Structure 1
Amino acid sequence: MHSINSETQLDSFAITQRTQIKRIPQRGNYDRALIHQILDQALICQVGFVVEGQPFVIPTAYGRVEDRLYIHGSPASRMLRTLKAGVDVCVTVTLLDGLVLARSAFHHSMNYRSVVIFGKAIVVESGTEKLEALKAFTEHVVPGRWAEVRPPNPQELAGTLVLSLPLHEASAKVRTGPPKDDDADYALPIWAGELPLHQTTLTPIPDPQLQASVELPTSVQHYSRSLSTVK
Protein backbone atom coordinates (compact mmCIF):
# COMPACT_ATOMS: atom_id res chain seq x y z
CA MET A 1 0.00 0.00 0.00
CA HIS A 2 3.03 2.22 -0.45
CA SER A 3 2.94 5.23 -2.71
CA ILE A 4 3.95 4.94 -6.32
CA ASN A 5 4.86 8.62 -6.33
CA SER A 6 7.04 9.37 -3.29
CA GLU A 7 7.14 13.14 -3.92
CA THR A 8 3.44 13.84 -3.49
CA GLN A 9 2.58 17.43 -2.67
CA LEU A 10 0.41 18.25 0.33
CA ASP A 11 -2.37 19.53 -1.93
CA SER A 12 -2.74 16.09 -3.57
CA PHE A 13 -3.25 12.57 -2.30
CA ALA A 14 -0.46 10.10 -2.91
CA ILE A 15 -1.01 7.80 -5.90
CA THR A 16 -0.97 4.17 -4.71
CA GLN A 17 -1.31 0.83 -6.44
CA ARG A 18 -5.00 0.84 -5.53
CA THR A 19 -5.87 4.43 -6.42
CA GLN A 20 -3.93 4.80 -9.67
CA ILE A 21 -6.45 5.36 -12.50
CA LYS A 22 -5.76 2.79 -15.21
CA ARG A 23 -8.81 3.07 -17.46
CA ILE A 24 -8.70 6.46 -19.29
CA PRO A 25 -6.04 7.80 -16.90
CA GLN A 26 -6.38 11.38 -18.21
CA ARG A 27 -9.66 11.57 -16.32
CA GLY A 28 -7.95 10.73 -13.04
CA ASN A 29 -7.34 13.43 -10.45
CA TYR A 30 -5.73 13.25 -6.99
CA ASP A 31 -6.25 16.88 -6.00
CA ARG A 32 -7.29 17.08 -2.33
CA ALA A 33 -9.55 20.13 -2.83
CA LEU A 34 -11.41 18.49 -5.73
CA ILE A 35 -11.92 15.25 -3.80
CA HIS A 36 -13.20 17.18 -0.79
CA GLN A 37 -15.56 19.16 -3.07
CA ILE A 38 -17.07 16.01 -4.60
CA LEU A 39 -17.51 14.37 -1.19
CA ASP A 40 -19.17 17.51 0.17
CA GLN A 41 -21.62 17.82 -2.71
CA ALA A 42 -22.79 14.19 -2.81
CA LEU A 43 -25.31 12.88 -0.29
CA ILE A 44 -24.82 9.11 -0.39
CA CYS A 45 -21.74 6.92 -0.52
CA GLN A 46 -21.52 3.23 -1.40
CA VAL A 47 -19.55 1.14 1.13
CA GLY A 48 -18.03 -2.06 -0.24
CA PHE A 49 -16.69 -4.85 1.99
CA VAL A 50 -16.50 -8.65 2.16
CA VAL A 51 -17.93 -10.96 4.85
CA GLU A 52 -16.84 -14.62 4.69
CA GLY A 53 -16.24 -14.40 0.96
CA GLN A 54 -19.54 -12.65 0.23
CA PRO A 55 -19.20 -9.09 -1.14
CA PHE A 56 -21.63 -6.39 -0.01
CA VAL A 57 -22.11 -2.82 -1.23
CA ILE A 58 -24.27 -0.73 1.11
CA PRO A 59 -25.48 2.83 0.43
CA THR A 60 -25.29 5.13 3.43
CA ALA A 61 -25.08 8.77 4.46
CA TYR A 62 -21.79 10.21 5.66
CA GLY A 63 -20.03 13.32 6.83
CA ARG A 64 -16.55 14.69 6.28
CA VAL A 65 -14.26 16.56 8.64
CA GLU A 66 -10.95 17.47 6.99
CA ASP A 67 -9.32 14.21 5.84
CA ARG A 68 -11.74 11.90 7.63
CA LEU A 69 -14.97 10.39 6.37
CA TYR A 70 -17.48 9.41 9.07
CA ILE A 71 -20.27 6.84 8.84
CA HIS A 72 -22.62 5.90 11.65
CA GLY A 73 -25.55 3.76 12.67
CA SER A 74 -26.76 1.12 15.09
CA PRO A 75 -24.09 -1.02 16.81
CA ALA A 76 -26.16 -4.00 15.57
CA SER A 77 -25.53 -3.08 11.91
CA ARG A 78 -23.69 -5.87 10.09
CA MET A 79 -21.82 -3.33 8.00
CA LEU A 80 -20.57 -1.37 11.02
CA ARG A 81 -19.77 -4.51 13.01
CA THR A 82 -17.73 -5.82 10.09
CA LEU A 83 -15.94 -2.54 9.41
CA LYS A 84 -14.98 -1.94 13.03
CA ALA A 85 -13.11 -5.27 12.96
CA GLY A 86 -10.59 -3.64 10.63
CA VAL A 87 -11.46 -5.21 7.26
CA ASP A 88 -10.51 -3.49 4.02
CA VAL A 89 -13.21 -1.17 2.77
CA CYS A 90 -13.83 0.61 -0.53
CA VAL A 91 -16.08 3.68 -0.50
CA THR A 92 -17.35 5.33 -3.68
CA VAL A 93 -19.27 8.54 -4.39
CA THR A 94 -20.63 9.70 -7.76
CA LEU A 95 -22.15 12.94 -9.00
CA LEU A 96 -23.92 12.67 -12.37
CA ASP A 97 -23.65 16.00 -14.22
CA GLY A 98 -25.19 15.11 -17.55
CA LEU A 99 -25.82 12.69 -20.40
CA VAL A 100 -23.50 12.80 -23.40
CA LEU A 101 -25.34 11.97 -26.64
CA ALA A 102 -23.11 11.03 -29.54
CA ARG A 103 -23.87 10.38 -33.20
CA SER A 104 -23.18 6.70 -32.71
CA ALA A 105 -24.65 4.47 -30.01
CA PHE A 106 -21.14 3.27 -29.17
CA HIS A 107 -19.84 6.71 -28.10
CA HIS A 108 -22.72 7.71 -25.82
CA SER A 109 -21.41 8.56 -22.37
CA MET A 110 -22.05 10.54 -19.19
CA ASN A 111 -20.40 13.54 -17.58
CA TYR A 112 -19.64 12.74 -13.98
CA ARG A 113 -17.41 13.32 -10.97
CA SER A 114 -16.55 10.37 -8.78
CA VAL A 115 -14.34 9.50 -5.82
CA VAL A 116 -12.97 6.14 -4.71
CA ILE A 117 -11.50 5.67 -1.22
CA PHE A 118 -9.64 2.65 0.15
CA GLY A 119 -8.74 1.99 3.76
CA LYS A 120 -9.75 0.59 7.11
CA ALA A 121 -12.35 2.20 9.36
CA ILE A 122 -11.63 3.06 12.99
CA VAL A 123 -14.15 3.18 15.86
CA VAL A 124 -14.60 6.69 17.24
CA GLU A 125 -14.22 6.35 21.01
CA SER A 126 -13.94 10.01 21.99
CA GLY A 127 -17.27 11.57 22.96
CA THR A 128 -16.11 14.92 21.59
CA GLU A 129 -15.15 13.46 18.21
CA LYS A 130 -18.37 11.42 18.06
CA LEU A 131 -20.44 14.56 18.60
CA GLU A 132 -18.36 16.39 15.98
CA ALA A 133 -19.01 13.53 13.54
CA LEU A 134 -22.77 13.58 14.17
CA LYS A 135 -22.77 17.33 13.60
CA ALA A 136 -20.87 16.75 10.34
CA PHE A 137 -23.55 14.24 9.21
CA THR A 138 -26.34 16.71 9.90
CA GLU A 139 -24.59 19.69 8.33
CA HIS A 140 -23.62 17.62 5.29
CA VAL A 141 -27.25 16.77 4.56
CA VAL A 142 -28.77 20.15 5.49
CA PRO A 143 -26.28 22.98 6.16
CA GLY A 144 -27.34 25.04 9.17
CA ARG A 145 -29.68 22.37 10.54
CA TRP A 146 -27.55 21.46 13.58
CA ALA A 147 -28.22 24.83 15.22
CA GLU A 148 -32.00 24.43 14.73
CA VAL A 149 -32.50 21.01 16.33
CA ARG A 150 -32.13 19.26 19.68
CA PRO A 151 -28.64 17.74 19.89
CA PRO A 152 -28.21 14.02 20.68
CA ASN A 153 -28.70 13.13 24.34
CA PRO A 154 -26.35 10.75 26.23
CA GLN A 155 -28.58 7.74 25.54
CA GLU A 156 -28.64 8.46 21.79
CA LEU A 157 -24.88 8.96 21.73
CA ALA A 158 -24.35 5.66 23.54
CA GLY A 159 -26.65 3.89 21.07
CA THR A 160 -24.81 5.18 18.00
CA LEU A 161 -21.68 3.60 16.56
CA VAL A 162 -19.48 6.03 14.63
CA LEU A 163 -16.62 4.93 12.40
CA SER A 164 -13.89 7.09 10.92
CA LEU A 165 -12.25 6.34 7.57
CA PRO A 166 -9.00 8.28 7.07
CA LEU A 167 -8.64 9.72 3.57
CA HIS A 168 -5.16 8.32 2.93
CA GLU A 169 -5.91 6.54 -0.35
CA ALA A 170 -8.35 8.52 -2.46
CA SER A 171 -8.71 9.41 -6.11
CA ALA A 172 -11.22 11.22 -8.30
CA LYS A 173 -12.30 10.54 -11.86
CA VAL A 174 -14.02 13.21 -13.93
CA ARG A 175 -15.54 13.45 -17.40
CA THR A 176 -16.69 16.77 -18.85
CA GLY A 177 -17.46 18.13 -22.29
CA PRO A 178 -19.13 17.07 -25.54
CA PRO A 179 -19.23 13.62 -27.16
CA LYS A 180 -16.15 12.23 -28.84
CA ASP A 181 -17.35 10.74 -32.12
CA ASP A 182 -15.38 8.97 -34.82
CA ASP A 183 -14.15 11.45 -37.43
CA ALA A 184 -16.32 9.91 -40.14
CA ASP A 185 -19.47 10.32 -38.01
CA TYR A 186 -19.26 14.11 -37.59
CA ALA A 187 -20.86 14.57 -41.03
CA LEU A 188 -23.93 12.49 -40.08
CA PRO A 189 -27.21 14.48 -39.77
CA ILE A 190 -27.72 13.28 -36.20
CA TRP A 191 -28.12 15.58 -33.20
CA ALA A 192 -25.29 15.25 -30.70
CA GLY A 193 -24.43 17.14 -27.54
CA GLU A 194 -24.85 17.27 -23.80
CA LEU A 195 -28.01 16.97 -21.74
CA PRO A 196 -27.14 18.56 -18.37
CA LEU A 197 -28.75 17.15 -15.25
CA HIS A 198 -29.40 19.19 -12.14
CA GLN A 199 -30.43 18.14 -8.63
CA THR A 200 -33.12 20.36 -7.17
CA THR A 201 -35.61 20.52 -4.29
CA LEU A 202 -39.39 20.70 -4.36
CA THR A 203 -41.80 22.45 -1.99
CA PRO A 204 -41.22 21.35 1.63
CA ILE A 205 -43.99 19.18 3.14
CA PRO A 206 -44.56 19.89 6.85
CA ASP A 207 -44.99 17.10 9.39
CA PRO A 208 -48.75 16.56 9.98
CA GLN A 209 -48.06 16.95 13.72
CA LEU A 210 -46.17 20.23 13.30
CA GLN A 211 -47.41 23.03 15.51
CA ALA A 212 -49.09 25.75 13.45
CA SER A 213 -46.88 28.45 14.96
CA VAL A 214 -43.62 26.85 13.79
CA GLU A 215 -42.24 28.62 10.74
CA LEU A 216 -40.10 27.14 7.99
CA PRO A 217 -36.48 27.30 9.24
CA THR A 218 -33.70 29.10 7.43
CA SER A 219 -31.88 25.87 6.58
CA VAL A 220 -34.91 24.62 4.64
CA GLN A 221 -35.86 27.97 3.07
CA HIS A 222 -32.43 28.39 1.53
CA TYR A 223 -31.59 24.75 0.91
CA SER A 224 -29.59 23.98 -2.21
CA ARG A 225 -26.74 21.72 -3.22
CA SER A 226 -24.02 23.26 -5.35
CA LEU A 227 -23.35 21.02 -8.33
CA SER A 228 -20.79 23.16 -10.12
CA THR A 229 -18.82 21.00 -12.50
CA VAL A 230 -15.08 20.93 -13.04
CA LYS A 231 -13.86 22.78 -16.10
Structure 2
Amino acid sequence: MSTPLSPTDRTTVRRGRDRAQEDRAPMHALLADALVAHVGVVVGDHPVVLPVAFAVDLEGPDQGGTLYIHGSVAARWLTGAESRTVCVTVTELDGLVAARSGFHHSMNYRSVVVIGEARIVEDAEEKAHALTLTVDHMVPGRSATLRPHTRRELAATSVLAVPLVEASMKLRAGGPVDEPEDIASGAWGGVIPLRRVSTGPVSGDDSHDDVPPDVVRRAAELV
Protein backbone atom coordinates (compact mmCIF):
# COMPACT_ATOMS: atom_id res chain seq x y z
CA MET A 1 0.00 0.00 0.00
CA SER A 2 1.30 3.46 -0.91
CA THR A 3 2.24 5.74 1.98
CA PRO A 4 -0.29 8.58 2.25
CA LEU A 5 0.81 12.17 1.85
CA SER A 6 1.59 14.10 5.02
CA PRO A 7 2.51 11.01 7.05
CA THR A 8 4.13 13.09 9.83
CA ASP A 9 3.13 16.01 12.01
CA ARG A 10 5.53 18.42 10.35
CA THR A 11 4.02 17.83 6.90
CA THR A 12 0.41 17.89 8.06
CA VAL A 13 -1.49 20.76 6.44
CA ARG A 14 -3.35 22.79 9.06
CA ARG A 15 -4.37 26.00 7.32
CA GLY A 16 -6.38 25.70 4.14
CA ARG A 17 -6.95 21.98 4.62
CA ASP A 18 -9.57 22.03 1.86
CA ARG A 19 -6.68 22.57 -0.58
CA ALA A 20 -4.57 19.72 0.78
CA GLN A 21 -4.16 16.57 -1.28
CA GLU A 22 -4.30 13.15 0.34
CA ASP A 23 -3.11 11.02 -2.57
CA ARG A 24 0.42 10.83 -3.95
CA ALA A 25 -0.62 10.81 -7.61
CA PRO A 26 -1.14 14.61 -7.88
CA MET A 27 2.28 15.14 -6.25
CA HIS A 28 3.93 12.80 -8.73
CA ALA A 29 2.20 14.62 -11.59
CA LEU A 30 3.42 18.02 -10.39
CA LEU A 31 6.98 16.79 -9.94
CA ALA A 32 6.87 15.45 -13.49
CA ASP A 33 5.55 18.76 -14.83
CA ALA A 34 7.61 21.35 -12.92
CA LEU A 35 11.13 22.35 -13.89
CA VAL A 36 12.44 24.29 -10.89
CA ALA A 37 12.59 23.41 -7.20
CA HIS A 38 13.73 25.51 -4.25
CA VAL A 39 15.79 23.85 -1.54
CA GLY A 40 16.07 25.30 1.94
CA VAL A 41 19.02 24.37 4.14
CA VAL A 42 20.88 25.90 7.07
CA VAL A 43 24.43 26.89 6.17
CA GLY A 44 26.54 27.90 9.14
CA ASP A 45 24.44 30.31 11.18
CA HIS A 46 21.79 31.18 8.59
CA PRO A 47 19.28 29.53 6.25
CA VAL A 48 19.45 29.76 2.48
CA VAL A 49 16.82 28.93 -0.12
CA LEU A 50 18.12 28.30 -3.63
CA PRO A 51 16.49 27.48 -6.99
CA VAL A 52 17.71 24.20 -8.46
CA ALA A 53 17.07 21.80 -11.31
CA PHE A 54 15.87 18.44 -10.05
CA ALA A 55 14.82 14.95 -11.01
CA VAL A 56 12.64 12.27 -9.44
CA ASP A 57 12.96 8.50 -9.39
CA LEU A 58 9.77 7.03 -7.97
CA GLU A 59 11.52 3.66 -7.82
CA GLY A 60 14.63 5.14 -6.20
CA PRO A 61 16.39 3.70 -3.16
CA ASP A 62 14.81 6.06 -0.62
CA GLN A 63 11.48 5.56 1.09
CA GLY A 64 8.68 6.88 -1.09
CA GLY A 65 11.07 7.38 -4.00
CA THR A 66 13.98 9.77 -4.42
CA LEU A 67 14.24 13.43 -5.35
CA TYR A 68 17.67 14.33 -6.73
CA ILE A 69 19.38 17.73 -6.67
CA HIS A 70 22.83 18.36 -8.05
CA GLY A 71 25.51 21.01 -7.88
CA SER A 72 29.24 21.62 -7.75
CA VAL A 73 31.35 19.74 -5.21
CA ALA A 74 32.46 23.23 -4.12
CA ALA A 75 28.88 24.26 -3.27
CA ARG A 76 28.96 24.70 0.49
CA TRP A 77 25.18 24.61 0.83
CA LEU A 78 24.96 21.25 -0.94
CA THR A 79 27.80 19.41 0.74
CA GLY A 80 26.79 20.86 4.09
CA ALA A 81 23.30 19.39 3.75
CA GLU A 82 24.51 15.81 4.15
CA SER A 83 22.66 13.99 6.95
CA ARG A 84 20.70 17.15 7.76
CA THR A 85 17.03 17.90 7.35
CA VAL A 86 16.24 19.97 4.27
CA CYS A 87 13.04 21.36 2.80
CA VAL A 88 12.39 21.20 -0.94
CA THR A 89 9.44 23.05 -2.48
CA VAL A 90 8.09 22.86 -6.01
CA THR A 91 5.42 25.27 -7.22
CA GLU A 92 3.58 25.82 -10.48
CA LEU A 93 1.49 28.98 -10.90
CA ASP A 94 -1.62 28.29 -12.98
CA GLY A 95 -3.53 31.56 -12.75
CA LEU A 96 -4.12 34.93 -11.12
CA VAL A 97 -7.46 35.16 -9.34
CA ALA A 98 -8.91 38.66 -9.59
CA ALA A 99 -11.62 39.08 -6.99
CA ARG A 100 -13.94 41.99 -6.34
CA SER A 101 -12.00 43.03 -3.26
CA GLY A 102 -8.29 43.12 -2.53
CA PHE A 103 -8.79 40.77 0.40
CA HIS A 104 -10.05 37.93 -1.80
CA HIS A 105 -7.46 38.19 -4.59
CA SER A 106 -5.57 34.91 -4.84
CA MET A 107 -3.64 32.60 -7.15
CA ASN A 108 -4.36 29.20 -8.64
CA TYR A 109 -1.38 26.98 -7.97
CA ARG A 110 0.00 23.53 -7.28
CA SER A 111 2.64 23.26 -4.58
CA VAL A 112 4.57 20.42 -2.97
CA VAL A 113 6.70 20.56 0.18
CA VAL A 114 9.16 17.73 0.83
CA ILE A 115 10.98 17.45 4.16
CA GLY A 116 13.62 14.85 4.82
CA GLU A 117 17.15 13.93 5.74
CA ALA A 118 19.40 14.48 2.76
CA ARG A 119 22.21 12.18 1.76
CA ILE A 120 25.12 12.73 -0.60
CA VAL A 121 25.08 10.14 -3.38
CA GLU A 122 28.40 8.31 -3.25
CA ASP A 123 27.70 5.42 -5.61
CA ALA A 124 29.00 6.33 -9.08
CA GLU A 125 26.25 4.41 -10.86
CA GLU A 126 23.48 6.09 -8.87
CA LYS A 127 25.09 9.50 -9.37
CA ALA A 128 25.26 9.01 -13.14
CA HIS A 129 21.65 7.81 -13.10
CA ALA A 130 20.55 10.90 -11.16
CA LEU A 131 22.30 13.26 -13.59
CA THR A 132 20.82 11.44 -16.59
CA LEU A 133 17.35 11.75 -15.03
CA THR A 134 17.93 15.48 -14.54
CA VAL A 135 18.85 15.96 -18.21
CA ASP A 136 15.82 13.98 -19.33
CA HIS A 137 13.55 15.88 -16.93
CA MET A 138 14.54 19.08 -18.74
CA VAL A 139 14.53 17.64 -22.26
CA PRO A 140 12.86 14.19 -22.39
CA GLY A 141 14.97 11.70 -24.32
CA ARG A 142 17.99 14.03 -24.56
CA SER A 143 20.42 11.79 -22.64
CA ALA A 144 20.19 9.05 -25.28
CA THR A 145 21.61 11.49 -27.84
CA LEU A 146 24.61 12.49 -25.69
CA ARG A 147 27.93 10.90 -24.79
CA PRO A 148 28.17 9.29 -21.31
CA HIS A 149 29.22 11.34 -18.28
CA THR A 150 32.99 11.34 -17.82
CA ARG A 151 34.73 10.42 -14.57
CA ARG A 152 35.93 13.99 -14.30
CA GLU A 153 32.42 15.36 -14.62
CA LEU A 154 31.09 12.94 -12.02
CA ALA A 155 33.93 13.85 -9.66
CA ALA A 156 33.15 17.56 -10.05
CA THR A 157 29.45 17.10 -9.28
CA SER A 158 27.69 16.45 -6.01
CA VAL A 159 24.23 14.90 -5.97
CA LEU A 160 21.87 15.27 -3.05
CA ALA A 161 19.12 12.69 -2.53
CA VAL A 162 15.98 13.46 -0.51
CA PRO A 163 13.33 10.83 0.33
CA LEU A 164 9.85 11.58 -0.99
CA VAL A 165 8.07 9.81 1.84
CA GLU A 166 7.51 12.91 3.97
CA ALA A 167 5.64 15.44 1.86
CA SER A 168 2.50 17.52 1.54
CA MET A 169 0.70 19.11 -1.37
CA LYS A 170 -1.81 21.91 -1.74
CA LEU A 171 -3.57 23.28 -4.79
CA ARG A 172 -6.08 25.94 -5.63
CA ALA A 173 -8.23 25.99 -8.74
CA GLY A 174 -11.31 27.90 -9.79
CA GLY A 175 -12.55 31.45 -9.63
CA PRO A 176 -12.71 34.09 -6.90
CA VAL A 177 -14.65 33.58 -3.69
CA ASP A 178 -16.32 36.91 -3.04
CA GLU A 179 -18.70 38.36 -0.51
CA PRO A 180 -22.32 38.55 -1.78
CA GLU A 181 -22.38 42.34 -1.51
CA ASP A 182 -19.18 42.62 -3.58
CA ILE A 183 -20.65 40.40 -6.29
CA ALA A 184 -23.78 42.57 -6.28
CA SER A 185 -21.66 45.67 -6.86
CA GLY A 186 -21.14 44.64 -10.48
CA ALA A 187 -17.34 44.70 -10.39
CA TRP A 188 -15.55 42.18 -12.63
CA GLY A 189 -14.21 39.00 -11.08
CA GLY A 190 -12.44 36.09 -12.71
CA VAL A 191 -9.18 34.28 -13.47
CA ILE A 192 -6.21 35.17 -15.64
CA PRO A 193 -4.86 31.73 -16.66
CA LEU A 194 -1.08 31.34 -16.86
CA ARG A 195 1.10 28.71 -18.53
CA ARG A 196 4.70 28.23 -19.63
CA VAL A 197 5.29 28.98 -23.30
CA SER A 198 8.42 28.24 -25.34
CA THR A 199 9.30 30.57 -28.21
CA GLY A 200 11.08 27.65 -29.87
CA PRO A 201 14.64 26.30 -29.77
CA VAL A 202 17.49 28.57 -30.92
CA SER A 203 20.62 26.92 -32.31
CA GLY A 204 23.92 27.96 -30.76
CA ASP A 205 26.41 29.99 -32.80
CA ASP A 206 28.78 27.02 -32.85
CA SER A 207 26.10 24.42 -33.67
CA HIS A 208 26.93 22.18 -36.63
CA ASP A 209 23.28 21.96 -37.59
CA ASP A 210 20.78 24.82 -37.64
CA VAL A 211 17.93 22.32 -37.34
CA PRO A 212 17.45 21.22 -33.70
CA PRO A 213 17.04 17.47 -33.14
CA ASP A 214 13.60 15.95 -32.68
CA VAL A 215 13.95 15.56 -28.90
CA VAL A 216 14.67 19.27 -28.55
CA ARG A 217 11.75 20.30 -30.76
CA ARG A 218 9.42 17.99 -28.85
CA ALA A 219 10.60 19.44 -25.53
CA ALA A 220 9.81 22.95 -26.77
CA GLU A 221 6.32 21.81 -27.70
CA LEU A 222 5.79 20.34 -24.23
CA VAL A 223 6.72 23.49 -22.31
Q: TM-score, normalised by structure 1?
A: 0.89
Q: CA RMSD in A?
A: 1.6
Report whether the alignment pairs 1:18 with 2:10. yes
Who is 2:68 aligned against? 70
After TM superposition, which residue ranges in structure 1, 4 or more long, deviate above 6 angstroms?
A: none
The question of 1:114 aligning with 2:106 is answered no
Determine which of 124, 134, 138 is the counterpart of 1:137.
134
**2:148 paired with 1:151:** yes
What is the alpha-carbon distance in structure 1 between the residues aligned to residue 220 and residue 3 of structure 2? 28
Cα deviation, 1:112-133, whole Å, max 9, x if unaligned, reads: 0000000111111222211110
Q: Answer whether contact 2:198 2:221 (CA < 8 A) is retained.
A: no
The structure with the greater share of residues assigned to helix is 2
Partners of 2:203 and 2:211 within 8 A in 1:
no
What does the per-residue CA deviation read over 1:175-195, in whole Å, with 9 as the maximum and x for residues that have no partner? 001100012111111111111
Aligned residue pair count: 217
Partner of 2:34: 42
- Rounded Cα–Cα distance in structure 1 between residues aligned with 2:222 and 2:97: 21
Aligned to 1:220: 216
TM-aligned CA deviation for residue 11 of structure 1:
5.7
Q: Please give the alpha-carbon distance, in whole angstroms, between the structure 2 residues aligned to 1:102 and 1:13.
A: 31
Distance 1:224 1:157, change over 3 A: same
Contact 2:79 2:158 in 1 (8 A): no
1: CA distance, partners of 2:220 / 2:122: 33
Structure 1: 5+ residue runs without aligned partners?
1-8
Q: Distance in 1 between matches of 2:11 and 2:153?
A: 36
CA contact (8 A) 2:6 2:13 kept: no
For residue 56 of structure 1, what is the aligned residue in structure 2?
A: 48
CA distance in 2, matches of 1:35, 1:122: 22
Deviation at 1:102, TM superposition (A): 0.6
Q: CA deviation at 1:203?
A: 2.5
1:15 and 1:129 map into 2 onto residues whose CA distance is 27
1:224 Cα deviation (Å)? 4.6
Whether the 8 Å contact between 1:70 and 1:164 is mirrored in structure 2 is yes
Q: CA deviation at 1:105?
A: 1.2
Whole-angstrom CA distance in 1 between matches of 2:151 and 2:23: 38
Q: Aligned partners of 2:42 and 2:128: how far apart in 1?
A: 29
Can you list the C-alpha shifts for 1:190-229, whole angstroms capped at 9, x where unaligned? 11111100101013211101114x63111111125768xx
Deviations 1:140-193 (A, max 9, x none): 111111111222111111221111111121010000011000121111111111
Whole-Å separation in 1 of the counterparts to 2:27 and 2:159: 22
Whether contact under 8 Å (1:199, 1:225) holds in the other structure is no
- Cα distance in 2 for partners of 1:53, 1:11 equals 34
| TM-score normalised according to structure 2 size | 0.92
